[in-house]
A and B are shown apart, each in its own frame.
Chain A
Amino acid sequence: MSNAAWFQETFSRIQSELAKVIVGQEEIVRNVLVGLAANGHVLLEGMPGLGKTLTVRSLAQCLSLNFSRIQFTPDMMPADVTGTNIFVQTPEGGRNFEFRHGPIFANIVLADEINRATPKTQSALLEAMQERSVTIGGKRMQLDEPFLVMATQNPIEQEGTYSLPEAQLDRFFFKLLVPDPTKADLAEVVKRTTGTIEPQVQPVATKEEILRMRHVAREVPIAESVLDFGLNLIVATRPNESKVPAVQKYLRYGSSPRGAQCLVTAARIFALLDGRFNVSKEDLKQASLPVLRHRIGLNFEAEADSITQDKIISDVILGVERQDRDPIRV
């Protein structure tokens, strides 16, 4: 079996297993798995009770990975996330400092309601997310691979929350908006969760397979012109360089270079999932919304006009597509 076929097969295997417990939300599940395959963290935004936590936990279960959940609250301290050295008495009667691992030391970390934590605590995640390591008391500790942070936040409750700083947001590979389930999905959810039989997720993939998936995804080739298209999407989000009127009017800042990296990586995976061996512009467009929506900053005018990031990104895609014309005009 070729790498690409294996990738697709593994991906669909995990997806199918998750579908046993997650009703609807196929897009969210798929994108979460893309984030996993891309070695990227995912920010899930949605109302409570939409299955965000269940999704993450189920994912950990079907991958046979360590899972930990951190419920962020305003009084939470960084040490509550990373762990801390505690003073312990050894059996021999001696006294010593012993490091007690925080919940960050897991393969899949669910950072629930991340925006409830203070910036100080939020920033405790920064190093872990980017460097895959934690430094405590001058000692740097490497996190186990694969390491995936799945953060959730509630878009409605703003009281007592702290918006994530741009640097923090930029470290998330995807930001996924969890939609309300349809009536049919809702009926299925009710049936499954109120009956006597509770579906169980079985491990269907190993840690090694996840790491291999990451490797395979990075080998998907991308043509210069396609890459150029992707970079045009990124550049078009910069208010001072963009030719898209909505960007000039409603954005404070555009995507960072990390956005470009994430865009191309995600597009590679989308290409493989589509059964192709090359990245297309369609893949880039498909990746644009989850990759860029948290990387662009709306200004006050946009807030006033109820303009969303998704709307701006759609305009950006249209603008870039308009410039990308067929070179043969016949």
Chain B
Amino acid sequence: MPALPPHLAMISLEFFLQQCLIGVTNGALIALVAMGYSMVYGIIGLINFAHGDLIMLGACLALSLVGASGLVDAGPTATWWGVVLLLLACGLFCGTLNMAVDRFIYKPLRNASKLAPLVSAIGVSFIFMNVGLFWLGPADRSFPELVPPTNLFSGDTLQFTYQDLLVVVVVVLLMVALSVLVRSTRLGRAMRAVSQDPTAAALVGVDVDRVIAATFFIGGALGGAASVIYSLYIKTIGFQMGFQNGLYAFTAAVLGGIGSIPGAVVGGLVIGLVRSLASAYVGERWTGAIVFAILIVILVFRPEGLLGRRTREKV
């Protein structure tokens, strides 16, 4: 088949599939961040504005660790193990940091009006951003290419590299682990109980504060993993990266139905796809407007989000 002339190239099926692949990979990353918003919202009804910046700090740590460990010059096997260790280290770091923020800032405000923790979260976001500014400096930093950008498909028509694969594999594994945790463990059952009725949960013997702390840890740890994947995939990090990425992920969480973990996944994939298709077919500068226009339309018709709950309960 002869190659299409450039002005027609974008109507080819390969081009469309390629955009979808990019969209799914980006969407998976957005979904991972969105889960952190959704979990915290589900359990205490707080929109954790600092979540995006928490991920930025995870990326700072990842960059420092890579620099200190000399992972760049290691062989392929050592590099893969290095990536696993990075995921663990940044997961632990972000999880612990998120839990500490809850313990010292949100927990004392648990019985205050909803606005007090919300404003505090915005404050934490700015504090994190300033820490990131000190850590990284004002300019964007490039992240070393640890995972090779080798194409997994033969030929040039479709590109899906080891880097894309890493994103999809890690996100799918974490999602499965999270849904098993929430569905079928003692902690997961306690989390669902606390999110539905904290007082009733306390009255059956659930330590509500501990469950909330665990939720912050898990949501933060997912964010830590996201920070490593983001750094390896996007390869540019900066102290302001948390804001925009956080906004898209939060949008994904609302779109899918905030509080719902499958909803966060669906919302992330939808936003990833819309973003890549819009920037390919309409133009990069329109993507933000298109993503949010679609969000508004969906929310007008389904205010509870795509997978949000709309069950009628008898009182």
Q: Do A and B bind each other?
A: no
